Amino acid sequence: MTATTASPRTPLWWARTGVRAWTCAPVPRDVRAFHAALPGYAPTPLTELPFLAAELGVGRVFVKDESSRLGLPAFKALGAFWAVHRVLAERARSGQETGPVTLVTATDGNHGRALARAARLRGQHAHVLVPEGVHPRAVEAIVAEQARVTEVPGPYDEAVRRAARAATAPDTVLVQDTAWPGYEQVPAWIVEGYTTLCAEIDEQLTAEGIAGPDLVAVPVGVGSLAQAVVTHYRGSATDSSPALLSVEPDSAACVLESLAAGKPVTVTTGGTSMAGLNCGTPSSLAWPSLHGGLDAAVAVSDAESARAANRLATLGVPSGPCGAAALAGVRTALTCAGGEERRRALGLGDRSVVVLLSTEGPAANPYAEAAADR
């Protein structure tokens, strides 16, 4: 395996071989059925972009467009809605009072808004803590979902710590999308919720006559979505075994640095337009799956993400900085100096099928508008 230092010519990169033999337990089957029964549910588009395929030197490129998911501009609703459903069901099953509770979380934006929406629709309360650097309009969108918002003078990890403390109050439940020892059940439900996205991709590729992707590129914060992707494609009930590439901001590459170290590490984060990926510590629940199932990891700059978002927009796919990170990461891996070696590490050829997870639309992250104006 290799890790290199970031520079304009040599990207921050990690890779290894032999990972596709790693397997894990499959996803519960009732997750997709739950989402399919929700009002307003529809699979999000899987858009083919031949121009990108030509630019990247592969056979076909598809973008999973999460700019509108259950009425919200990001994929996070899949995890939040399923987790709230499971939390309330478990409370009812255990005989706890069925009156409204307060669902507490920390967020860089999208998860908090999704949780606030789920709480409102289920007649519950929400308390959302946001760290420094979250755009005021993202905060306003959470408030508009009737949530109480507390702004934390510190980074994301500090907001998570404060959310955990706030959730010790009576009639509160922590619904956090990152895990740590002793807090893993709810994050596991959130990860299960995200796998509906992958199930849709399978069906959509099958409709195109494609057995499965050769590479899936996924933006990464604490790693929960990447865990869902790994679980889906490395699950014992799944035949397809593509290469899996994680993409992070170069100012918050906690998963890449952890993979290079062979153990979870915490990194000091900096400011980034990829606000939803600005996380310094991998989820403890996600880590075994990331360590076992990811083929490679790459970090990208804000400028690279902005260029990718602009390119996607010209091709008709609305994407915010976090969502566009997937394209930025694949571009960096395949087209920067040393790209041929990285292409071989990913097992890609001129007929390969690449799927990019565009996890948010521009409306999910007001920084996207500023980037587009540059």
Closest CA to 254 of 221, 301, 296, 292: 221
pLDDT at 368: 52
Residue in 349, 364, 305, 273 with CA at minimum distance from that of residue 65: 364
Residue 76 is a catalytic residue: yes
Please report which helix (H) or strand (E) contains residue 15, including its range: strand 13-15
Q: What b/e sequence results for 231-242 when a residue is b if at least 16 CB atoms lie within 10 Å of its CB, and e otherwise?
A: bbbbbeebebbb
Q: β-pairing, 60-65 with 353-358?
A: parallel
The pLDDT score that the predictor gives to residue 5 is 40
Q: How many other CB atoms are there within 10 angstroms of residue 338's CB atom? A: 14
Specify the DSSP element, H or E, that contains 356: strand 353-358
Position 7 scores a pLDDT of: 41
Give me the catalytic one of 64, 65, 76, 214. 76
Query: d(Cα 332, Cα 229) in Å, to the nearest integer?
Result: 21
Pairwise CA distance, residues 290 & 282, whole Å: 9
Q: Is residue 156 within 8 Å of 269, Cβ to Cβ?
A: yes
Among 214, 224, 213, smallest CA distance to 255 is for 224
Q: Would you state the pLDDT for residue 99?
A: 79
What is the rounded CA–CA span in Å between residue 87 and residue 325? 32
Cβ neighbours of 61 (radius 10 Å): 26
- For residues 9 and 336, the answer to whether their CB atoms sit within 8 Å is yes
Residue for token digits 């893993």?
Answer: 184
pLDDT score, position 372: 44
Catalytic residue among 30, 64, 65, 108: 108
The per-residue pLDDT for 134 is: 86
Give ∠ CA 274-277-281 in degrees, rounded to 5. 145
CA angle 331, 335, 336 (to 5 degrees): 105
The pair of three-digit structure tokens given for residue 83, joined into one six-digit string: 């987790």
Backbone angles phi, psi at 296, to 5 degrees: -160, 160
pLDDT attached to residue 321: 94
Across the chain, which has 374 residues, the per-10-residue mean pLDDT values are: 48 91 88 95 98 98 97 96 96 83 94 97 97 89 96 94 96 94 95 96 96 97 95 74 96 97 95 90 95 97 96 96 97 95 96 97 71 43
Instruction: Output the pLDDT for position 10.
Output: 73
**CA dist., res. 352 & res. 190, Å (int):** 31
Active site residue 108: yes
Using CA atoms of 361, 122, 282, 167 in order, give the dihedral in degrees to the nearest 10: 140
Helices (H), ranges, 43-100: 50-56, 77-93
The per-residue pLDDT for 29 is 85
In whole angstroms, what is the distance from residue 174 CA to residue 189 CA? 13
Distances in Å between the Cα of 244 and the Cα atoms of 22, 27, 85, 306, 336 are 12, 17, 29, 22, 19
Contact 213, 205 (CB under 8 A): yes
Q: Are 111 and 182 in contact (CB under 8 A)?
A: no
- Residues 329 and 308 sit within 8 Å (Cβ to Cβ): no
